[in-house]
Structure 1
C-alpha cells in the first residue's frame, strides 16, 4: 500500500485574512483550485484520513467524490500552540508577536492556555499517529491510503517517522528552523514507505 501524506490546500489563514477559529479556517478560491488539481496527481484511494479541521475536509472533497470514499477523522490537526480564544478574529500578522514569544521561550511543556497544546503534547500526538500508521501499513498491501493533514503536523511526522527524533529542546529548535526555511507547501505531499 502506498500512503500519501498531503498538506491541505491554501486557506484564508495562509494569506493573512482574519480567522475565528483554528478548526474553521476555509480554503481560498486558489485553495479550491489546488484541491481539484490533486485529482491529476494522486491515485485512487481506498481509504482517506483527514483532520477535524475544515480545510483538510475541503482539500479532500474532490478526491472523496471521485473515489466514492467516506473520510475518517483522526487526531492529525495542526499544532495549536496559541490559544484559540486569544487568536479569534486576528490575522497572521497580528499573531506574529505571540508566535515569536512562543518560540523564543523554547519550553517543551509551556501551554499558552487551556485550549492550546504544549510542544510535548504535540509530539505525543504525532508519535501516536506514526504508531497507528505503521499498524495500518501492515493491514494493506495493494491499496492506497491518503492522509490530509497540516504543515506543522507533517513536518514533525517526518522528524519522528523518518529521522527517529526523540522529544528534546534541540528537536523543538530544529523543527522551528525547518518550518521557517523549508516548510511543506500547500497540497505538497510525500509517500510514507517505511520497511515493516
Structure 2
C-alpha cells in the first residue's frame, strides 16, 4: 500500500485564463473530466490530504465521494511568489515578465510583496511535509493515503526526495529548470517512497 502524490486537474490558470486569487482558481471543464477519471485510476483511500486551494478540493471531490472521506487540509498549497494583489485579474502571459524577473534573480529570500512567499519559506514547507510523510509511511503499509497538491510543490518535493539538497540559489535555478522541462502534468501522480 502507498502514499500517492497527485497534481490537481487542469485549472483556469493552466490555460491562460484570468484569475482572481491563487486560492480561488477553479478547474476547467476538462479539469473536471480529468478529476472524474481518477476514480478509475487511484485506489480506495484511508485518508486524503488537500491544500487550502480550491483546485485541489475540486480534483479530489470524485474520490472523496467514492470513498466517503472528509479531507484534511494541510499547508501544501502552491508556491505563491507573486502576491494575489499584483496578480488579480491577470493571465499567465501577462504575468510572464514578473515571473521571469523573479526566477532570474535566484534570491532564495526575496519576497516580492506583501502576501508573497520566499523560496526559502516554500523550501521549508516542502521539507516539513516530507518529514511528515516519512513519519506516516509505517501507517500506510496496508492502506492508501492520497495527497492532492500542486505542480511546483510536488516538483520540489520529488526533487528533494530523489536527492536531498540544501537551500541555495543553485537549487532554485535547478528547480526552475525542472519546472520548465519536466513539469508534472495535471492529474499526474507518483508514489512517495
- Pairwise TM-score range, normalised by the shorter structure: over 0.9
For structure 2, which runs of at least 5 residues remain unmatched after alignment? none
Task: Look up the SS of the partner of 1:23 in the other structure.
Answer: coil
For structure 1, which runs of at least 5 residues remain unmatched after alignment? none
CA distance in 2 between partners of 1:106 and 1:170 (Å):
8
CA distance in 2 between partners of 1:80 and 1:189 (Å):
21
| Deviation string, structure 1 residues 44-91 (Cα, Å, up to 9, x no partner) | 001000000000000000000001111000100000000111000111
Kept in 2: contact 1:48–1:72 (CA 8 A): yes
Which residue in the other structure is 1:8 paired with? 8
CA distance in 2 between partners of 1:56 and 1:165 (Å):
27
Which residue in the other structure is 2:31 paired with? 31
Which residue in the other structure is 1:43 paired with? 43
Using the TM superposition, give the Cα deviation of residue 162 of structure 1 relative to its aligned residue in structure 2, in angstroms.
2.2
Using the TM superposition, give the Cα deviation of residue 168 of structure 1 relative to its aligned residue in structure 2, in angstroms.
1.1
CA distance in 2 between partners of 1:166 and 1:131 (Å):
15
Which residue in the other structure is 1:57 paired with? 57
Which residue in the other structure is 1:160 paired with? 160
Using the TM superposition, give the Cα deviation of residue 138 of structure 1 relative to its aligned residue in structure 2, in angstroms.
2.4
CA distance in 1 between partners of 2:103 and 2:116 (Å):
14
Which residue in the other structure is 1:102 paired with? 102
CA distance in 2 between partners of 1:56 and 1:25 (Å):
10
CA distance in 2 between partners of 1:43 and 1:128 (Å):
26
Kept in 2: contact 1:160–1:166 (CA 8 A): no
Q: Which moved further from structure 2: 133-142 or 170-179?
A: 133-142
Consecutive aligned runs of 4 or more in structure 1 exceeding 6 Å deviation: none
Kept in 1: contact 2:3–2:140 (CA 8 A): no
Using the TM superposition, give the Cα deviation of residue 184 of structure 1 relative to its aligned residue in structure 2, in angstroms.
0.4
Task: Look up the SS of the partner of 1:22 in the other structure.
Answer: coil
Aligned residues: 193
Task: Look up the SS of the partner of 2:23 in the other structure.
Answer: helix
| Deviation string, structure 1 residues 121-171 (Cα, Å, up to 9, x no partner) | 000000000001111112332000000000000000012222112111111
CA distance in 2 between partners of 1:138 and 1:42 (Å):
20
CA distance in 2 between partners of 1:136 and 1:144 (Å):
11
| Deviation string, structure 1 residues 7-35 (Cα, Å, up to 9, x no partner) | 00000000001000000000000000000
Pairing 1:1-196 to 2, within 5 Å after superposition = 1-193=1-193
